[in-house]
Amino acid sequence: MIHGSLFPAASDASDVSGDCALRVGLIGTGVVGSGTCQVLARNADLIAQRAGRPIRLVMATARNLLKAAQVLGPDVALVSDPLTLVRHPGIDVVVEVMGGVTLARTLVLDAIAHGKHVVTVNKALLAEHGSEIFAAADAQGVIVAYEGAVAVSIPIIKALREGLAANRILEVVGIVNGTTNFILTQMHDAGLSFEAALRLATELGYAEADPTLDVSGMDAAHKTALLAAIAFGADVPLDLVHVQGIGTLDPFDMVCAQALGYRIKLLGMARQRSNALEVRVHPTLVPEKHLLAQVQGAMNGIWVNADAAGPTFHYGAGAGSQTTASAVVADLMDVARQGSAGLSARVPHRSVPSGVIRSWPILPIGQVASRHYLRFELTKRPELLTRLNGWLQALGVDVQRLAHVQHPQDGMQGAVVMLTQCLTGDVLLGAMEALRQMSGGLEPAAMWRVEDLN
Ligand SMILES: NC(=O)c1ccc[n+]([C@@H]2O[C@H](COP(=O)([O-])OP(=O)(O)OC[C@H]3O[C@@H](n4cnc5c(N)ncnc54)[C@H](OP(=O)(O)O)[C@@H]3O)[C@@H](O)[C@H]2O)c1
């Protein structure tokens, strides 16, 4: 349905925009959609100059059209059926900032089938259906741009696909979820429990009413899978990404990690290991002096190690209205410049053309090697420590650092914490099972991986 005087008719879309303007149809007028309208309006002259032509929002859709009309003002045609928008001949590019996967996939594929370029910030959609969507876009000769899908205000996709295009990327390691980084910062700085820190994040608007995607690590996994696909020119099936969230993290481990010179962060990691990739998300000990350990609150940070450029660090806001719009509008400007060029003249969706995308094996987490942090609650039986060292040595586990840590709360048992040498997960778990048997039940109260990021 197309609305009347309050909402200009959709057929006016091409007239309003003029001949050379890039005509945009917007699906979703919420946090990201409204920020996009504001940036497009406020910086219209500058954007037109830099993009070589004006970018004009001509049509939009949302569920609540009255609310949308207040966001958009009188010059934008509103339609109630998103299919009308993605098929409309007066639209050159569809901006999908609606969220969700099923309907978003249908609309994006339909837009592509109708020859529209697409800008989306939907990491869940691209992590689950990116290969299908990029193949459809290549077949139709249109662009699918998605800078806002990862660490919104950081132009990391441009950095990987363009700025670092001459490099072999060795590893990409990032804090790519602001909600969990806010919670971990509160647990570390204020000693809050996970539950209390989550409550605070919700009260302050950093966590959604249902925080499952963030807290489970899944949102970070979506973004890490996208970064891995770009960095290594690869198909990265989401179900092969190892994901562990922050819900089981004990704040005491943050105190213990600090005693060893580390901070615990939820990292998304993608790394090349001979002929396979590691792609994983989990709480990780990071050296206190590393830039990633300095990323506080809801901010994001991404560390890229590349063969020619060496290490680079990228920092910025990971969410927000205009912060995300900054990426959406930059993508629209790319479409304005490159949209009429042939496929070979454009930056490929995942850094290499679809024909040379590789299917790298993804290492199961048990085969991934790293140093490990172990916490044993031995302080009530200190005589066990000497024996524990002997047992670990016999099992091939080297203790490289060790500290005794008092629990900050009175009456709580302190701990002996240690860092091991580099071991695969399978080898360590095997050793811990053998330890339990030979010691009559001794096992670590916590085990986390360590990344020294040298
Ligand atoms: N918020 C951020 O900081 C941020 C950052 C990066 C990426 N993203 C991604 O951006 C997307 C949107 O996030 P948001 O925060 O802007 O969400 P939001 O504020 O909830 O806005 C969603 C918009 O989509 C519309 N919508 C939802 N379902 C629809 C449907 N079935 N048909 C038509 N319109 C529909 C909503 O309409 P009504 O308003 O009428 O309900 C609303 O205008 C998500 O993919 C999210 O992951 C968000």
Q: Answer yes or no: is pLDDT of 248 > 50.
A: yes
CA 2 to ligand 1 centroid distance, Å? 21
Query: Which mutation among 37, 70, 83, 98 tests ligand 1's pocket best, with the greatest number of atoms within 8 A of CB?
Result: 98
Please report which confidence band the pLDDT of residue 19 belongs to, taking 50, 70 and 90 as the band edges.
low
Question: What is the per-residue pLDDT for 380?
Answer: 74
Question: Mean pLDDT across the stretch 259-281?
Answer: 96
Mean predicted confidence (pLDDT) in 310-318: 97
Q: Which of ligand 1's atoms lies nearest the C-alpha of 29?
A: 43
Q: Which domains does the chain have, with CATH numbers?
A: 10-152+323-356 (3.40.50.720), 158-317 (3.30.360.10), 365-450 (3.30.70.260)
Q: Is 223 a catalytic residue?
A: yes
DSSP 151-189: STTS-HHHIIIIITTTSPEEEEEEE--HHHHHHHHHHHH
Q: Give the atom of ligand 1 at the shortest distance from the alpha carbon of 321.
A: 3
User: How much distance in Å is there from the Cα of 99 to the middle of ligand 1?
Assistant: 5
Q: Which of 116, 123, 223, 265 is catalytic?
A: 223
Strands 276-287 and 446-450: parallel
For residue 3, the model assigns a pLDDT of: 43
Cα(174) to centroid of ligand 1, in Å?
24
Query: What's residue 9's pLDDT?
Result: 46
For 38-66, what is each residue's pLDDT tens digit? 999 999 999 999 999 999 999 999 999 99
Residue closest via CA to ligand 1's atom 5 equals: 319
Angle CA 102–79–144, to nearest 5: 50
Question: What letter does residue 101 receive in the DSSP assignment?
Answer: S
Q: Please tell me the pTM assigned to this model.
A: 0.95
Confidence category of residue 413, pLDDT binned at 50, 70, 90: confident
Q: pLDDT tens digit string along 348-373?
A: 999 999 889 988 999 999 999 999 99
Res 454: pLDDT: 86
Ligand 1 neighbours (beta carbon < 6 A):
28-33, 61-64, 67, 82, 97-99, 103, 121-122, 148, 152, 319-320, 324
Burial of 161 (0-12, 13-18, 19+ CB in 10 A): buried
Distance 194 CA to ligand 1 centre (A): 27
